[in-house]
Chain A
């Protein structure tokens, strides 16, 4: 066998050498992957890949503070205001990739464009009545009602080059035609540290450094970035092993991440933005009784759940939840006070429940596209069986789930969801899940209607200062533990297997972390060794 293989290998090697390009490792190039598709129009950005593109091709008025709560000026020099009025003073040394200077008109245009298109995360600005250019470098926002997380939501308002977009309007009705949507789907008009070289939404976006960026960018930061889409796990593993790929997406199965770590890859992490929630339909018997929900919450084996998502002994795709709010956000309980299973308490709550365990048959759903949820469904089935509660596991494709939850009677007893704060502020995590006016969306299959929760959520979004908001969310956290509309499974942590030639402080040093999904991939802060 060996004697046959040898000549074949030699022939194949010879042919590959003849045809092989002189590439192997391109200097200063960072190669990573995400799920398809990549959307480069910043007003339509919503998922992880879009966020990575947006944070690098465009800039925002403020940035989340690294290593802690709060925000710092970025395109803005400073800001003032509260309640319904906020005024931002802009930097005067910022140019778009076109060379046009960035002014207050561009900020006003960016907001109007996002609101008019109504896509992506535009709903975050529904409360903004107007934006006005006071002078060339001062912009004033007026809100309809006080909204304390307004400054936080500005991390989702990328500033686009009005002049460039207006010169490239496509077909459409009205004076603004398509608002440049067709053009911005394949071109960029931002101030970002990187600009697009080529973009194929299903295959790859190639970016290179923007030489005219207004901040200093380290020389070791990648000169070129290739963001590939939709690579299979086996492909990623082979590419990394051959040194042809640098950072794998977080969506790899834990066992593949572990195999890569065993092969010498470093593990990068991003956390503090969301959690895994087991959501209970509070309109359906027996989960309309809080005692019954508390029984289930106490019976859930939190430690086993954490073990199921462990990648290595040190790194896991989640950490113990301490309550409804992930550690690091306003109102969260401190780390170290993780929830744990308490069967005695579970039995005591079940005894107070108005339904008998033998009469209960729960429908445990899991989203077909998220295989790990099947494991959690099996875990819950075993946990609840110890209380004498029967359950049936039901697999639901996402599309079907999103349709079913629009009516409480069609919503399963138990749904499993990963929910993130899209701005890093707890308001964008909790309001959509637990406010009674938000019931019936994919985030809120609990159909919770609790006056105290509503009151605290409103207090959280209108709080006069950070202390008031902290107090409101802390009380909210307690209330949500008291009535248990959900089981707070674990605080989510994204894990990325990466080549050791990459340094990414925002994904490896908690003091440099942004606490916002995707922002850890700010390429100008990364380093790539040749």
Chain B
């Protein structure tokens, strides 16, 4: 078996075990949260009889392991149950809300890489200079405040005082785009509506930037630190002595080995954004899965909690596998270790 294929199969197997463990854990935790899900779902005016009927329908009076058995049986049929929050199948909710969050996180991830890595390279290359100092201050600001603080600040500056960007939603009301993939940036292109694409892109800038800022700061700082360390290595000295141009040394010899730890952290940050996006989604009225996830936890919507956590966990694991594969691709030592094992 090819080393990469071997690594992939091993990671997929582990991921399935992790997902199974997560499902058991979240299933149990969701039931420990105080409050009766049936009472919360039916609202304060529901009668005791209505609550009892819903509890029976949800098997809430059965022991937890029997409830888990029902859950696994339904899961194997691709049925995550009905959400008590939206009164729709959880799979329908996830299918509707997940693309919005993924789109936001993907754009934020792109910003993290496209802004964070070049800034880190720039900072390392001109270490001790004005550019380095400015980048370090900016990146420190980025990591020192959570995304929702940036979301409010950005909204205040670029939507309230300087009304340059929209405040809420994914696209202006005047556009009606048929959902094909659920990713508006893609669906608008499929529809051939470039004005709508521009509008959707215009809507995503502020929330994605707010979400990415902390990651940008982290990627910048990490890339800089790793590159500074690499610059002190003998082979860089050798490259300099051969008279290679500074840009080539930075981009080719110093950046590549420094990328591996940065890539690991970026991967983790990217996956963490799926869970952390909820406040940014709340502030920018972004109809995504993170916001849905928090709402269902507050409403103790058992099926939706388990479904949402499983999907976020699966996405987290997939991103980790992709990062591992990328690192293996970049770093020959990992490929070789797989071959020897």
Q: Which residues of A contact B (CB under 8 A)?
A: 9, 12-13, 15-16, 18-23, 26, 29, 36-37, 39, 41, 44, 46-47, 118-123, 126, 181, 185-186, 200-204, 226, 228, 230-232, 234-235, 238-239, 241-242, 244, 397-400, 402-403, 422, 441-443
- Interchain residue pairs with CB less than 8 A apart (11): A12-B164, A12-B165, A23-B173, A26-B174, A44-B87, A118-B49, A119-B46, A201-B87, A234-B152, A399-B300, A403-B36
A12-B164, A47-B43 known; A22+B35 contact, CB < 8 A: no
A123 lies within 8 A of B97 (CB): no
**Distance between Cα atoms of A399 and B41 in the complex (Å):** 10
The residue on B at minimum CB distance from A37 is B86
Q: Which among B45, B160, B285 is the interface contact of A121 at CB below 8 angstroms?
A: B45
| CB of B287 within 8 Å of the partner chain | yes
A123-B46, A202-B295, A203-B287 known; A23+B160 contact, CB < 8 A: no
Q: Which among A201, A235, A399 is the interface contact of B35 at CB below 8 angstroms?
A: A399
For A234, the chain B residues whose CB sits under 8 A away are: 152, 155, 283
Assuming A16-B202, A202-B287, A228-B285, what are 12 further A-B pairs, CB within 8 angstroms?
A: A18-B198, A21-B174, A23-B173, A41-B87, A44-B87, A186-B88, A202-B86, A202-B292, A228-B168, A244-B168, A402-B35, A402-B39
For B93, the chain A residues whose CB sits under 8 A away are: 202
**Distance between Cα atoms of A9 and B163 in the complex (Å):** 10
B140-180 contacts to A, CB under 8 A, are 152, 155, 158-160, 162-165, 167-168, 172-175
A46 lies within 8 A of B97 (CB): no
**Distance between Cα atoms of A230 and B86 in the complex (Å):** 13
The residue on B at minimum CB distance from A121 is B45
B164 lies within 8 A of A16 (CB): yes
Give min CB distance, B263 to chain A, whole Å: 31
Give min CB distance, B171 to chain A, whole Å: 8
The residue on A at minimum CB distance from B85 is A37
Q: Which residues of B contact A (CB under 8 A)?
A: 33-36, 39-40, 42-50, 53, 85-88, 93, 96-97, 152, 155, 158-160, 162-165, 167-168, 172-175, 195-196, 198-199, 201-202, 282-285, 287, 291-292, 295, 300
Q: Which among B35, B165, B199 is the interface contact of A400 at CB below 8 angstroms?
A: B35
For B47, the chain A residues whose CB sits under 8 A away are: 123, 126
Give min CB distance, A80 to chain B, whole Å: 30
Listed from nearest, the 6 A-B pairs whose CB atoms lie closest are A399-B35, A19-B198, A203-B287, A19-B202, A23-B174, A201-B86
B87 lies within 8 A of A39 (CB): yes
B167 lies within 8 A of A238 (CB): yes
The residue on B at minimum CB distance from A231 is B285
**Distance between Cα atoms of A126 and B48 in the complex (Å):** 13
Q: Which among A16, A44, A228, A441 is the interface contact of B165 at CB below 8 angstroms?
A: A16
**Distance between Cα atoms of A67 and B291 in the complex (Å):** 40
**Distance between Cα atoms of A44 and B43 in the complex (Å):** 10
Give min CB distance, A416 to chain B, whole Å: 14
B201 lies within 8 A of A19 (CB): yes
**Distance between Cα atoms of A309 and B237 in the complex (Å):** 71
For A181, the chain B residues whose CB sits under 8 A away are: 87
**Distance between Cα atoms of A181 and B86 in the complex (Å):** 12
B50 lies within 8 A of A119 (CB): yes
**Distance between Cα atoms of A527 and B33 in the complex (Å):** 45
A46-B45, A442-B44 known; A123+B87 contact, CB < 8 A: no
A226-B173, A239-B167 known; A123+B45 contact, CB < 8 A: yes
B162 lies within 8 A of A9 (CB): yes
For B53, the chain A residues whose CB sits under 8 A away are: 118
A202-B97, A231-B285, A232-B283 known; A29+B173 contact, CB < 8 A: yes
A23 lies within 8 A of B158 (CB): no
A231 lies within 8 A of B45 (CB): no
**Distance between Cα atoms of A526 and B67 in the complex (Å):** 49
B164 lies within 8 A of A235 (CB): no
B162 lies within 8 A of A12 (CB): yes
Give min CB distance, A372 to chain B, whole Å: 18
**Distance between Cα atoms of A398 and B44 in the complex (Å):** 10
A123-B47, A202-B292 known; A20+B86 contact, CB < 8 A: no
A20-B202, A123-B47, A442-B44 known; A397+B174 contact, CB < 8 A: no
For A241, the chain B residues whose CB sits under 8 A away are: 160
**Distance between Cα atoms of A234 and B157 in the complex (Å):** 13
The residue on A at minimum CB distance from B286 is A203
**Distance between Cα atoms of A493 and B174 in the complex (Å):** 35
For A443, the chain B residues whose CB sits under 8 A away are: 44
Q: Which among A13, A230, A399, A441 is the interface contact of B282 at CB below 8 angstroms?
A: A230
Give min CB distance, B160 to chain A, whole Å: 5
For B175, the chain A residues whose CB sits under 8 A away are: 21
Q: Which among B35, B45, B199, B285 is the interface contact of A403 at CB below 8 angstroms?
A: B35
Give min CB distance, A152 to chain B, whole Å: 15
A119 lies within 8 A of B34 (CB): no
Q: Which of B85, B86, B282 has the most CB of A within 10 A?
A: B86
For B40, the chain A residues whose CB sits under 8 A away are: 398-399, 402
For A185, the chain B residues whose CB sits under 8 A away are: 87-88
For B283, the chain A residues whose CB sits under 8 A away are: 232, 234-235
For A202, the chain B residues whose CB sits under 8 A away are: 86, 93, 97, 287, 291-292, 295
A403 lies within 8 A of B164 (CB): no
Give min CB distance, B94 to chain A, whole Å: 12
Give min CB distance, B191 to chain A, whole Å: 14
For B49, the chain A residues whose CB sits under 8 A away are: 118
B168 lies within 8 A of A235 (CB): yes
Give min CB distance, A412 to chain B, whole Å: 15
For B43, the chain A residues whose CB sits under 8 A away are: 46-47, 120
Give min CB distance, A11 to chain B, whole Å: 10
For B198, the chain A residues whose CB sits under 8 A away are: 18-19
A231-B168, A402-B44, A443-B44 known; A22+B174 contact, CB < 8 A: yes
A244 lies within 8 A of B167 (CB): yes
Q: Which of B47, B88, B163, B173 has the most CB of A within 10 A?
A: B173
For B167, the chain A residues whose CB sits under 8 A away are: 235, 238-239, 242, 244
Give min CB distance, B138 to chain A, whole Å: 14
Give min CB distance, A433 to chain B, whole Å: 12
A235 lies within 8 A of B162 (CB): no
For B202, the chain A residues whose CB sits under 8 A away are: 15-16, 19-20
For A200, the chain B residues whose CB sits under 8 A away are: 96, 287
For B159, the chain A residues whose CB sits under 8 A away are: 238, 242
Give min CB distance, A122 to chain B, whole Å: 7
For A118, the chain B residues whose CB sits under 8 A away are: 49-50, 53
A26-B174, A238-B155, A399-B34 known; A13+B164 contact, CB < 8 A: yes
Q: Which among A21, A119, A231 is the interface contact of B199 at CB below 8 angstroms?
A: A21
Give min CB distance, A365 to chain B, whole Å: 14
**Distance between Cα atoms of A245 and B293 in the complex (Å):** 26
A12-B162, A399-B300 known; A235+B284 contact, CB < 8 A: yes
**Distance between Cα atoms of A36 and B292 in the complex (Å):** 10
For B162, the chain A residues whose CB sits under 8 A away are: 9, 12
**Distance between Cα atoms of A226 and B87 in the complex (Å):** 21
The residue on B at minimum CB distance from A181 is B87
For A22, the chain B residues whose CB sits under 8 A away are: 174
**Distance between Cα atoms of A46 and B46 in the complex (Å):** 9
**Distance between Cα atoms of A123 and B44 in the complex (Å):** 12
For A228, the chain B residues whose CB sits under 8 A away are: 168, 285
For A19, the chain B residues whose CB sits under 8 A away are: 195, 198-199, 201-202
Q: Which of A12, A119, A228, A235 has the most CB of B within 10 A?
A: A235
For B164, the chain A residues whose CB sits under 8 A away are: 9, 12-13, 16
A402 lies within 8 A of B96 (CB): no
The residue on A at minimum CB distance from B176 is A198
**Distance between Cα atoms of A120 and B202 in the complex (Å):** 40
For B50, the chain A residues whose CB sits under 8 A away are: 118-119, 122-123
Give min CB distance, A174 to chain B, whole Å: 14
**Distance between Cα atoms of A231 and B35 in the complex (Å):** 25
